[in-house]
With several copies, the nearest count.
Chain A
């Protein structure tokens, strides 16, 4: 066990899986010599050579297609898409192909691949480079969608994703790469589809994933100081999602806030709300609140970008509105 960054944890997972299984290979733009736009693949070309760490032309569709075809022939490709914004160029491969082949070919092929990609805003990268498009993947049966929030989960879930027989979309986040935390050494697997209770509490449930999970935790810690005892749930994966853990929490707390980084309308948070109202209807003391990104293309200017993204402040304020009596505490 050592303190590592989220980036290092990912790198460790890739390295360990490549050592363990020769079928694992990496595909992507500038992942070799350049070591990845965000340096997640640092050192892997040096260790594994260009047979297994394959730099590809700027052609996202054929990067995804190559991963799918290789997976159909029994390899375990891990493709890096430089950011999720560029994955939009490979949506046909992801949705019409990766997600469909096992089913439409009557179980005769599997597609065991991972597409890793960071999303998220906050770096003034403007409208075409700052999106969080989780719902695009979470909506699609046949895909698994994983979105770790901590270095330990980054490692454990990436290793589990690489070993999964299904296509996994592995959502990273620019704002998390430098975050630090304890990461178990060696063989450490986190099962896909199980939420984590990052902080137990009784007054209120706050649900997040990826970047919004630590944000929720920060808010909960501040709320504790104000006498509000929030339970924080980190979904960890959106497909499958662990609705039972969420519902059980809300049945206990009777109130919930869902926090997501992307645009509010038709985002994954809506599904969380829909599940809560379905599974815990009779327990709810107030409408589930959503905190999300502003519904605008990401602006470049810091003054605008700052207010366009959700923050721990927003969560604290919403919680205090929901639990006014405790506010005075």
Chain B
């Protein structure tokens, strides 16, 4: 019954337990600078705002020696995404890849931090910007690259391409090209989980521009009403094609929108892997243990255009620079090195490993056969 606004639940506790998060550099795309004082600003920006139910205790990762291996692994995931996407860009330019191709470059901390919180038997619904999600989920780079090349060896046999990665075994339930669509499908997945009384979670990933389409609120309403175990992960990269967030959303703080459904919403610094991981861990726990859907908004930035076809001239270079200065891969590496958790040789090895995977993927894709024209109507019907 109680509204968001009536009940200041565990906000105080929560803030105390949580390390201070750096709000994204001021002036960064779309988020108008607040005129309120620092505490108010924190809340207005939604950083760490736990919503009415509270998101439970913070996550477990920190820059401490016992996490050394896992932290290096996570950094490696980010590096792999970056190298992979750079190669995709190159291959697109060299006309090996066609269609629309959207990259995760700049968003690696959000992608890795969020997906690493899931169990292998949880489900993921993604959108067209899905290469990174697929990589973190463990789909082989070669299978993704071959897909982008339109080859029969691709993860969906060249039928879907960049926007439609899918892997049943890994419960990667697809990238989708229609804004908002996957939110509705996620409700169906959540319904099936509750129907079978399983302790699984659905993560549904979408951009901030996708929160203005009917699907968004229709889905949030149903998820809350039926207590579906869904984590709505909004990757707020500040732009929807050429539109800055405040041009499309009357409330540009996406984390606040679930108030219309008494659903918890939290904003997190999407350039900070551990912060994302913490916030999403709470959301996953809520979903799994309490069947409480929630929304996490990760503030990040896409360093490139909307898709490979977009030179992104609508953004001031100073704004881009502010975000480039917060490059999640560089930052995380510095943090690891400062904490003595990664030596330069280790970093180099990780880099080389990523590079090798990507090289191999491109070679594999190049060498693979295209689908046979005679197979054109395979899979129209089951």
Contacts and interface: CB of A to CB of B under 8 A. Distances in A.
Contacts of A324: none
A259 B222 CA distance: 41
Given A129-B100, A300-B159, A302-B370, A105 B213 contact: no
A219 interface: no
Interface range on chain B: under 10, 10 to 19, 20 to 34, or 35 or more?
Answer: 35 or more
A126 B188 contact: no
B156 A65 contact: no
Contacts of B379: 102-103, 106-107
Interface stretch (B166-174, B320-328, B341-349): B166-174
B181 A73 contact: no
B163 A304 contact: no
A318 interface: no
B157 A96 contact: no
B240 interface: yes
Contact of A107 (B157, B158, B240): B157
B314 A59 contact: no
Given A59-B222, A62-B187, A300 B164 contact: yes
Contacts of B219: 62, 65
A169 to B, nearest CB: 14
B221 A57 contact: yes
Contact of A86 (B178, B183, B189, B193): B178
B136 to A, nearest CB: 19
Interface stretch (A204-212, A268-276, A290-298): A290-298
A59 B214 contact: yes
Given A29-B241, A124-B99, A301 B178 contact: no
A40 B181 CA distance: 26
B180 to A, nearest CB: 8
A75 B191 CA distance: 10
A53 B381 CA distance: 28
Nearest to B168: A108
A162 to B, nearest CB: 14
Contacts of A135: none
Contacts, number: 249
Nearest to B171: A73
A102 B222 contact: no
A103 B187 contact: no
Nearest to A51: B195
A53 to B, nearest CB: 12
Interface range on chain A: under 10, 10 to 19, 20 to 34, or 35 or more?
Answer: 35 or more
Nearest to A141: B380
A304 B181 contact: no
Given A106-B159, A142-B381, A165-B382, A58 B209 contact: yes
A129 B177 contact: yes
A105 B188 contact: no
A85 B123 CA distance: 27
A300 B380 contact: no
Contacts of A75: 191-192, 195
Given A66-B191, A69-B189, A107-B378, A301 B158 contact: yes
B189 A62 contact: no
Interface stretch (A30-38, A149-157, A179-187, A224-232): A30-38
Interface string A75-108: 1010000000110010011001100011111111
A299 interface: yes
B184 interface: yes
B134 to A, nearest CB: 12
A296 B376 contact: yes
Contact of B156 (A34, A37, A69, A104): A104
Interface stretch (B34-42, B67-75, B243-251): B243-251
A57 B261 CA distance: 13
Contacts of B195: 25, 51, 70, 75
Given A69-B190, A123-B99, 9 more contacts: A68-B184, A75-B192, A96-B181, A106-B379, A107-B378, A165-B381, A300-B99, A301-B159, A308-B376
Interface of A: 25, 29-30, 33-34, 37, 51, 54-62, 64-75, 77, 85-86, 89, 92-93, 96-97, 101-110, 112, 123-129, 141-142, 144, 165-166, 294-297, 299-304, 306-308
Q: Shortest 6 CB-CB distances between A and B: which pairs?
A: A69-B188, A65-B184, A34-B242, A300-B161, A106-B156, A124-B98
21 contacts: A29-B241, A30-B242, A34-B242, A55-B243, A62-B218, A65-B215, A65-B219, A73-B193, A86-B178, A103-B380, A105-B156, A106-B166, A109-B174, A125-B99, A125-B177, A126-B99, A128-B178, A299-B159, A301-B161, A301-B370, A302-B370
